[in-house]
Each structure stands twice: as structure tokens, then as C-alpha cells.
Amino acid sequence: MKPIFTKGPSLNLRLLACVLASFALLAAEQRGMLNPLRTSLAVLVYPLQQLVSSPINGWRNLSESLSSREELLKDNQRLHEEQIRLKSQLLKFDSLQQENIRLRGLLETSFKLGEQVLIAELLEVNLVPYEHVVMVNKGSRFGIYPGQPVVDASGVVGQVLRVTPYNAQVMLITDPNHAIPVQVNRNGLRTIALGSGQIDKLYLPYLTSNADIKPGDLLVTSGMGGVFPQGYPVATVTTLSTQTSPFAKVTAVPLAKLDRSRELLMVWSKQDPIPRIPPPAEQAPETPAPSAAPTPNPAIRGKARGAPHARQ
């Protein structure tokens, strides 16, 4: 009968064997004899390592992918908004550049004219067939008066029709009720240019069929009537038809950019300087007496009352 418990080597013998095996392995490791074995074991264990770590690696890769996609979407949205903002700024810069060009043109024109001028900005346009009127943001507070001439960088625009303290209405030279004395710059021939109701056309109905005028002639203000100073460019003759009528049919195109100008020049002559507008503290309180309503300048008041072309 076999014993239940087999008796093996003693514990001391086993310890000695383990110690000797350890020294042998250390000596073999020191000499590099275990490198091939370690490499073989690493190759055998690698698939098991990948299998164990695959869930963790897969979750990490998925998280990074989702996070990267969200970041890309956010970056794309941010760049898209920035592009829209930069485009709007670019459009604004272009508008400011064009406005700067127009203002420089007006400034150069004011030096050429030699009169005192004030730049006014367009507020409203009314170009119905029987009324060509625009509104500007300067009024009687700045010395604007009815009948005052208005020009732009290219030529005569019209004259002030009505004035309030904060704005003024300007009748364009193409208004059917407007007439402006002009003369041919080439030979000094004087006539009157009437508004046609069309933004790009003026009529010269008071020229005889044998008048010395031809297409391409420059028309400038003659200074007659005391409203427009002499020498301002007005229009260029475009068509001339004599036929059998004693009067020639002459049309001209205005030089001023009536349908594009946003800044206009309000003109004072050298004899009528811009009146000084006192601050509110210096102004006297209003009284109901009619004589208490001041006018900017006696000479300006007389000129406004005698303006022949402003509508009543």
C-alpha cells in the first residue's frame, strides 16, 4: 500500500537548488546568454499582450478620434466666422477707401473754387418725374440759406430749396422747375439751361438755329442772376438739332454725379462768408415778434429772397 504523503527533497535542499539556479541565471544574464531566450519569449508573449491591451487601446483611439473631430468642427466654425467678419471688414474698408477718394476730390475742388465751402452728406433722395430734390444733413445752424449754390467734385449740383435748423433740401439742376444761367466756355455765348426731369439731361431752348454752339462744348455758370458764382462747370453739350425751327434744339449732360454723389459742397462766395453760429448759451431766447427771427447774413438774406429759380 502506497503512503498518502510522499516525502520529497528537504526544504533546505530546495532552497540551495534555487540559490544555485539564481546565481547561474545571473551569471548567464551577465554574459548575455539569455538574450535569445528573452527574445523568443517576447515574440511568443506579444500577441497575448496585444490581445489584453486591445480594448484599452481601442477606447483610447476612439476617444481621440471623436475629440479630434469635435476640435476640427469647432476650428472650422471659428475660421468660417472669422472669414465672414474679415470679408465684412474688407467691404467696409473698400467703402471707406471710396469715401476717402470722394472727400479728397471735394477738398481739391474747394481749393480750386476759391470760395468758402462746407461738406454736407446726403440723407434722402427724391427723384420722381416732376421733382428732383435731395436732402442733406446741414441746415440753418450751419449758415445754410435758401438759394445757396451746391456743387460736387465734378460740377454744379443745384441750389438749396428749403432749410430747417438741422437739414436742407437741394433742388437738382435736372428738376423741371430749375433754370441756371450758363455760357459756352469756348466763346462766352450766354443762355439758360433748364431741367428736363431726367437725371442725365438738360435743355437749352433759347438758342437760335445759327448760334455758335456744337456738341462737346463745355457749359459753365455765367454768374448772371446772382445765385451761382461765375465759372462753375455745369454740363457738356451732347446733341444739336436746328431743322427748320428758328430755335435750335440743344441738350446737354450734367457734369455733376447727381445719381452717385454722397457728399456735396455748400458754397459761399468770398463776399458772403460763412456766418459764425453762436453756442446755445449765447443765443437769445425766442420772442413772438416777427423781427426777432434772425437771418445768417443780410447779404445772404437778400440773395435768398431774390433767388429766381427756387420754387415757392
Annotated domain spans of the chain: 38-113, 116-275+297-305
* 65 vs 16, residue with greater confidence: 16
φ, ψ for residue 46, nearest 5 deg = -55, -50
Is the pLDDT at 5 greater than 70? The verdict is: no
Is the pLDDT at 116 greater than 90? The verdict is: no
Q: Are 79 and 123 in contact (CB under 8 A)?
A: no
Q: What is the mean pLDDT of residues 108-133?
A: 76
Residue 96's pLDDT is: 65
For the ranges 56-60, 179-183, 293-297, the maximum mean pLDDT occurs at: 179-183
Residue 215's pLDDT is: 92
- For 70-86, what is each residue's pLDDT tens digit? 788 888 888 887 877 77
Query: How confident is residue 305, by pLDDT bands cut at 50, 70 and 90?
Result: very low
Is the pLDDT at 39 greater than 70? The verdict is: yes
For the ranges 19-33, 97-111, 190-204, the maximum mean pLDDT occurs at: 190-204
Residue 246's pLDDT is: 84
At a CB cut-off of 8 Å and minimum separation 6, what does 234 contact? 155, 156, 173, 180, 182, 193, 202, 219, 220, 221, 252, 254, 255
Report the CATH superfamily, name and number, of domain 116-275+297-305: Rod shape-determining protein MreC, domain 1 (2.40.10.340)
* 127 vs 16, residue with greater confidence: 16
Query: How confident is residue 129, by pLDDT bands cut at 50, 70 and 90?
Result: confident
DSSP of the chain: ---SS---S-HHHHHHHHHHHHHHHHHHHHTTTTHHHHHHHHHHHHHHHHHHHHHHHHHHHHHHHHHHHHHHHHHHHHHHHHHHHHHHHHHHHHHHHHHHHHHHHHHHHHHHH-SEEEEEEEEEEEEETTEEEEEES--GGGT--TT-EEE-SSSEEEEEEEE-SS-EEEEETTSTT-EEEEEETTT--EEEEEE-SSTT-EEETT-BTT-S--TTPEEEE--TTSSSPTT-EEEEEEEEE-TTSSB-EEEEEESS-TTT--EEEEEE-SSSPPPP---TTTSPPP-SSGGG---S-HHHHHHHHT-SSS--
Is the pLDDT at 271 greater than 70? The verdict is: no
Is the pLDDT at 110 greater than 60? The verdict is: no
Is the pLDDT at 92 greater than 50? The verdict is: yes
Q: What is the mean pLDDT of residues 283-310?
A: 39
Q: What is the mean pLDDT of residues 158-173?
A: 94
Q: Are 146 and 227 in contact (CB under 8 A)?
A: no
What share of the chain in percent tops pLDDT 90?
A: 26
What share of the chain in percent tops pLDDT 70?
A: 74
> What is the grid cell recorded at 289?
415778434
φ, ψ for residue 293, nearest 5 deg = -80, 105
Is the pLDDT at 275 greater than 70? The verdict is: no
Amino acid letter, residue 133: V
Is the pLDDT at 41 greater than 70? The verdict is: yes
Q: What is the pTM of this model?
A: 0.56
φ, ψ for residue 111, nearest 5 deg = -65, -40
